[in-house]
Amino acid sequence: MAKSVQAAGKVAANVALAGIGIAFLVPLLWVLTTSVAQGQTLKVEWPKHLTGANFAHVTTVDILFRPLLNGLVLCGGGTLITVVVAILAAYPLSRYRSRLKRPFLLTILFTTGLPITAIMIPVYAMFTQLNLIDQMWSATVFMGSTALPFGIWLMKNFMDSVPVELEEVAWTDGASSMATLRRIVLPLMWPGVIVVTIFTFIGMWGNFFVPFILLIDPNQLPASVSIFTFFDPQHGGVQYGQLAAFSIFYCIPVAVLYLVMSRKLSGSFALGGALKG
């Protein structure tokens, strides 16, 4: 009796989950069918004539490769800044006691969700006044800084899970705290570093607003902004087929990063320890 109830529960769970899966799949289908279709359609339907023309049209330096490279420079650089600075900042926060620690961490937690849209106007004014507008490096540093609160907070929680006893041995041997960080703590928390890297990069790669405001020269725009050119009415209406093909290329770096790095996380996404608050 109880067994059959349990079995029925399992079937119901599978059915419900399958339904949710389909709901998540349907919107994604459009990009696949449209990218190989002739003509411009917004419908999900299997194209009557398959064509590679959309892919051929977008694989040029101006349309695809330069924006992707700009994005890699901008987001790769920004992620590097976030991860390195967050590791450094997490160490004292995780290892030492201080009266300032709790207020600092609470501020960080609040800043984590700070609506970046809200501060972009003063940032724009500041960048214009200091002549930092339309410069790749300043936009990169800004992207890195905005991701810092979340990075520091996650990194600190991952670092907390590395037992401090291991370092104490090294300290008695006269190793400096930076040396123990590099040789003992970091090797033990690679999964944490990987999670922070993925989160940071994905967030930046999809970020449209910040580069949209801070960069002007079309040659410097990352793919998240240049994708708007497919909607330019000057090019004769929206080129949905090309947009779809471009979107597929655009998603590849993120998908590759996610696949490569999540493999190293030994199956489960090691998020639990870091998100308890």
SS3 96: coil
Output the smallest distance, CB 111 to another protein, in A: 6
d(CA 40, CA 230): 12
Contacts with another protein, 77-116, as mask; x by CB under 8 A: ----x---xx-xx-xxx-xxxx---x--xx--xxxxxxxx
- Under rule CB under 8 A, residue 261 binds another protein: no
- Under rule CB under 8 A, residue 123 binds another protein: yes
Please tell me the count of residues contacting another protein according to CB under 8 A.
Answer: 100
Contacts with another protein, 192-231, as mask; x by CB under 8 A: ----------x--xxxxx---x---------xx--xx---
Contacts with another protein, 125-164, as mask; x by CB under 8 A: xx--------------xx-xxx-xx--x-----------x
For another protein, give the closer residue by CB, 50 or 178.
Answer: 178
Output the smallest distance, CB 201 to another protein, in A: 10
Output the smallest distance, CB 60 to another protein, in A: 19
SS3 50: strand
Output the smallest distance, CB 192 to another protein, in A: 13
d(CA 136, CA 4): 62
d(CA 216, CA 228): 13
Answer yes or no: are the C-beta atoms of 33 and 45 closer than 8 Å. Answer: yes
- Under rule CB under 8 A, residue 251 binds another protein: yes
- Under rule CB under 8 A, residue 255 binds another protein: yes
- Of 31, 20, 40, give the one whose Cα is nearest residue 252: 31
- Under rule CB under 8 A, residue 260 binds another protein: no
The DSSP 8-state label assigned to residue 115 in this structure reads: -
For another protein, give the closer residue by CB, 50 or 256.
Answer: 256
For another protein, give the closer residue by CB, 190 or 208.
Answer: 208
The DSSP 8-state label assigned to residue 207 in this structure reads: -
Within 16-45, the residues that bind another protein by CB under 8 A are 16-18, 20-21, 23-31, 34, 42-44
d(CA 146, CA 79): 10
For another protein, give the closer residue by CB, 75 or 220.
Answer: 75
Contacting residues for 86 by C-beta, under 8 A, at least 6 apart: 148, 151, 152, 154, 155, 196
Output the smallest distance, CB 164 to another protein, in A: 5
Residue 50's beta-bridge partner residues?
37
SS3 124: helix
Amino acid identity of 117? T
Give the range of 10-18, 47-55, 56-64, 185-193 binding another protein by CB under 8 A.
10-18
d(CA 125, CA 250): 30
